[in-house]
Amino acid sequence: MDIMKQIEENIIAGKFKETEGLVKTALEQGKSPNEIITDALSKGIDEVGRRFKCDEYFLPEVMTCARAMSTALATLKPHFTTEKKTTIGTFLIGTVEGDLHDIGKNIVSMMMEASGFTVYDLGIDVKPEVFIREIREKSPDLVGISALLTMTMPAQRDTIKAIEAAGLRDKVKILVGGAPIDQRWADEIGADGYAEDAVECVEKSKVLLGLGR
Amino acid sequence: MEMMTSRERVLTALDHREPDRVPASIWCTVDAYKMIRKNLGLEVKDRYPVGSTTWTQDVSAEEDVVEKLGADLIRINVSPPGGVGFREIEGGLLVDEWGVVRKRVEYKGGSYLDIVKYPLENATVRDLEDYPWPDPADPAVTDGLMERAQWLRKNTPFAILLQCGRGGIFEQAKYLRGYAKIFEDFVGEEEFIRALFNKLLQIEKEFNRVGLEAAGEFVDVVRMSPEDLASENQTFCSPSMFKQIILPYYRESFDYTKTLFHRKNPNGKIQFHSCGAVSYPFMEGLLEAGMDVYDACEVKVKEESRPVSFKQKFGERLSFLGAIDVQWTLPFGKPEDVRNEVRERIKEMASGGGYILSSSHRITPDMPFENIAAMYEAVREFGKYPIR
């Protein structure tokens, strides 16, 4: 089987112990890191997303696929020194101040990266001023703000207000997400979009940037 | 219909018959409990005993609050070994009786606890033997429990729920192993998962045994350790994985607990909690394993798993507790929104009995007291049978 197909299927099967070897083989065969992302990893993770959406895959499967995916991306990373990474947009993401939850956010980061975005993950418990500093520094197209608790949801609004006050609101599209979040809340606090899960975050990000689906 | 006592109301509902009105219950965090007491004009202490699990910081509401709110079911619980729950270590970190390390996280208007160290993240099967597990035989676990239960039965009209367990099986495994790691284990480390679940099952059974031996004869409902099986959209694993890997441990836990319980109270019910969009195959499995009551009936989940769907599908065999939304209505809605939701939920859930109204998860301190009061007022107003 073609090495690219093998990597794609490795991601779908979540066999993360074999991922590094396969990616190295592809590099040895002269595949470029960008090709590996576009022609193998993206296809694999798209299929994982599809299976997750229609209840063929559940968290145990998705977590092992995610681990295979991050292994592949880590293996490719040193090879981007000579070749510039092709990107369809820049995405900055963090969990709001006062909230330490990150599993969902990490899956979103990983899916966005696998789908061709350049991702800057600010981690958890991110203060509004850190979002602002990083927006100034990285000039992202999109900002993702995550909150997992009703108690920390108001910090999403505070973060958006702070971005506005800093005069940066029209420079970025803002997506919000997290367990208690819905479209109504996203509208109320003036976000540009709400994504229910990582797959939807990729879709909505593309729509917001006018890239179609 | 003649007015019933609170206990008659609850027992009739749990027997799938219509009482005089829909019974109500309360479940809250300690900070919310203080806020509620203050608003009811009751004395507020600095500290309250640890409730269902150490980390959730909830509290078993006392009889004065239950009475003033007009609820019908009162909760008592087994206590942590040593009686304390958390021990503080360097850096202000808190360690619970399971060895899980948490940090107090401040947000605007309060704080909550979150895990910073999963003690079994890198453990092997062998490590489980030497691990310092909590000891259900510690006398503090049931200290005062029998006296409390007996007193409540004699001096109050309420039905009594005993919160057993102190952590659970799948739930506690997540906290010990880590959320990300445990899901990977399901695919690659089944032997470890089974060894861990088995250890946790033995501990759960022991907590339930000592609790029931102390207070079983005065208790109407036993609530097992809460277990979360789903997010809002999906269960945490496939139905087949649930049936093969998780359910056998619940079945043994339910069987064991129910057998002991029925020796003390032949009509006693087993209550089980999960958040999220638990699916029909999971519910079927839990029912077959012996679940009688399901809480807390989260509202903002996919359609198949909403309280009304479960009522239609399982209502003849299963009672429900909860179902008043804690994600939007109680924290952000107006009292009028709460009234409307209570009215709607009663119409959906209460016919034929089998429903105890409560918040769809713990009441937290960010919920305005007016909304909480409105919930209990509305159940009196709209909950009279026959439901119109």
Whether B217 maps to a domain, the answer reads: yes
Query: Tens digits of per-residue pLDDT, A86-126?
Result: 889 999 999 999 988 888 898 899 889 888 899 999 999 99
Prediction ipTM score: 0.84
| Domain-embedded: residue A170 | yes
Average pLDDT of chain B to the nearest whole number: 95
Last residue of a domain, one of A81, A106, A131: A81
Contact A60 B331 (CB under 8 A): no
Please write the tens of the pLDDT for every residue from B187-233: 888 999 999 999 999 999 999 999 999 999 999 999 999 999 998 88
Residue A106 lies in a domain: yes
CATH number of the domain to which B363 belongs: 3.20.20.210
Pick B107's closest partner by Cβ from A14, A151, A197. A151
Indicate whether A192 and A111 sit together in one domain.
Answer: yes
Beta bridge partners of A173: A142
Indicate whether B334 belongs to any domain. Answer: yes
- pLDDT for A82 equals 65
| Contact assessment for residue B317 and residue B287, using Cβ atoms and an 8 Å cutoff | yes
* Dist CA B294 CA A23 (whole Å): 48
Picking from B108, B109, B234, the nearest residue to A58 by CB comes out as B234
The type of residue at A86 is T
Provide the CB-side half-sphere exposure for A177 (13 A, CA). 25
Contacts with A1 (C-beta within 8 Å, 6 or more apart), sequence order: A9
pLDDT at residue A212 greater than cutoff 70 = no
CB contact under 8 A, A103 and B232: no
Q: What is the pLDDT of residues A3-22, one digit of tens each?
A: 999 999 999 999 999 999 99
User: Which pLDDT value is given to residue A115?
Assistant: 82
**Do residues A159 and A204 both lie within one domain?**
yes
- Determine the 3-state secondary structure of A96 from DSSP: strand
| Rounded distance between C-alpha atoms, residue A86 and residue B18, angstroms | 65
Name the residue range of residue B144's domain: 6-84+122-382
Domain count of chain B? 1
The verdict on residue B111 lying in a domain is no
Does residue A213 fall inside a structural domain? no
Residue range B46-67: average pLDDT?
91
State whether A45 and A13 are in the same domain: yes
Q: Which member of B188, B233, B236 has the closest CB to residue A197?
A: B233
Q: Are residues A100 and A60 in the same domain?
A: no
* Rounded-to-integer distance, Cα B235 and Cα A60, Å: 11
Q: What is the pLDDT of residues B366-384, one digit of tens each?
A: 899 999 999 999 999 999 9
Q: Which CATH number goes with the domain that contains A60?
A: 1.10.1240.10
CB contact under 8 A, B233 and A59: no
Query: B357 pLDDT exceeds 80?
Result: yes
**The whole model's pTM is what?**
0.87
**pLDDT digit string (tens) for A63-88?**
899 889 989 989 998 887 667 778 89
The answer to whether residues A32 and A101 belong to one domain is no
A162 interfaces chain B, CB cutoff of 8 Å: no
Other beta carbons within 10 Å of A34: 17
Q: Select from A59, A64, A96, A185 the residue whose CB has the most chain B CBs within 10 Å, as the one to mutate to test that interface.
A: A59
Q: d(Cα B45, Cα B64) in Å, to the nearest integer?
A: 14
The CATH number covering residue A118 comes to 3.40.50.280
Judge if A74 and A94 occupy the same domain: no
* Domain end residue (candidates: A27, A49, A81): A81
Percent of chain A with pLDDT over 70: 98
Q: Is residue B109 part of a domain?
A: no
**Mean of the per-residue pLDDT values for chain A?**
92
> Is A108 inside a domain boundary?
yes
Specify the pLDDT at position B110.
74
d(C-alpha B243, C-alpha B238), whole Å: 9
Do both A141 and A197 map to the same domain? yes
Question: Contact B183/A63, CB-based, under 8 Å?
Answer: yes
In this structure, are A41 and A20 located in the same domain? yes
Alpha helices in B112-189 (DSSP H): 125-130, 145-155, 170-177, 179-188
Query: Does residue B108 register a pLDDT over 80?
Result: no
Domain carrying residue A203: 89-208
Q: Kindly tell me the burial class for residue B259, based on how many C-beta atoms sit within 10 Å of its own C-beta (0-12, 13-18, 19 or more).
A: exposed
